[in-house]
Structure 1
Amino acid sequence: MHRSASRLTRVLACAAVPVILTVAGCSSDSGKDSGSGGDKKSKASAPAKPSGKATAALEKAAFATLPDPCKSVQTKTIETLVPQAKDKNGTATKSNDLTARASCSWNGLDEDGLKGSQYRWLSISLIRYESHPSLGSANKRAEDQYNKQVGIAKAAEGAHDVKAEAADGIGDQATSVVYGVKKDVDFFNTTIVARTQNVVVTLDYNGAAYEGAGAPDQAKLLQDAITAAKEAVASVGAAGEQPKQPEQQASPSPQ
């Protein structure tokens, strides 16, 4: 009986050993996990390393605002292009943001008794773009709009004898598009599309003759339109100029 009890004691003692080792092992593993978790936490809180791919900064838009479109062309120019204009001050189109989109138009019928009448219509549209991370630089967006407007002018409804060519000396790039449109009488149209930095200027000028008057001179219509377009582009530059800061007087040096 004594021998059996002694043997049972040894068996229980041996059986307890693995349990103790197991617990110790778990405690040791738990410590490693805790250390590992701490490493992960420190890695997560560490600042991310730069990828090495620097994002190109977009250029700042050259012009931050637009001129008043109805004042973008001189009064004497309006008198030349649109004789007997109904409103020499022009009619502005409503816009939600006049610093981004603005336009103005003039029209008039110059009657000359038995010699008939001459009709003229002039419109100036200004669109300004800002640089945008997902849309591109201000100048590139303006260039895309410029190309779009040239395409629209070339594809004008009812246009015939369309002729497009570069117009030198107007902004950074410009195109003139001339064509005729047959309505109740023959209309002769001229469109000048110009880009100056981040602003696109579209000038439409057309004329027609009534009651036996001679047809408008297309070459003169084009030249007059170019003159007005140059003034409109210049007004964009003037509106975008930053006011000069007054020079500070040098303070007297201490004696």
Structure 2
Amino acid sequence: MRIVGGGVEAVTEVGYRRARVGGGSEAARLPVGRLRVDRLPAGCDAVLVAGDLQGVAPSPWGGPPVLLGVALADFLTVWAQEGSVPVPERVGVVLAGDLYAAPAADRRGATGAVRDVWWAFAAAGCPFVVGVAGNHDEVSTADLAEAGPHVALLDGTHVDVGGVRFAGVGRIIGDPKRPGRRAEEAQTALIDRVLGAGPDVLILHEGPCGPAPSQPGRAEPAARIRAAPPALTVCGHVHWPVPVATAPGGHTLNTDARAILLTV
């Protein structure tokens, strides 16, 4: 899955509420775009990649606000009916972590359960849902076990789907006494392990830096990726104004507060 398009093409957007700096909440828009790749997993017409969906939004089906990721999963069916995206049964999903928001979207850095987001994409009929946990996510393989074998939380592991190998490492580098963090040595060891499996797509929450000053990230993952580059690295955690960066052997795609449909 190698990026071949020149840039992200806008498709639609989702209105939501997120925590505001200094307290309270504010209105925001989640951009949904399209980006061309050279191939997709067999049985898919698109792969939706998304991360840092830290907000709440109304579902198109009504009811009280839900986690933004749940609303995004619900909107897939609506957009498919409008003809702007393929049907969910033909859309695989890659999640790069940090999918939680406080119920009132009024606390920055809130941590909580994100099982519902993963299950929402599975319930929508998506053929697979793979990804990693961010530093603000509470989710485990046990939480997702009954969603089926096509749903995989990756952490130092990989999975093959439709001829494409996805590998992932969740969390971020930091004090392991704090939630969602690992010591640098432990985190980079896991990255080395999954790169050794030769993935087509590497999924991280905290990813490598890009070549531009406006594309911050960690130097340690960047060094590991240079040594054994996958075609595509998906990450988030910090925002890049321009989400795509050329990397040795491929590209890095930053999904912080955005959703992108990969299509051929």
TM-score by length of 1: 0.28
Which structure is higher in strand share? Answer: 2
More relative contact order, 1 or 2 (CA 8 Å, 6+ apart)? 2
Give me the TM-score of the superposition, normalised by structure 2. 0.28
Question: Which structure has greater helix proportion?
Answer: 1
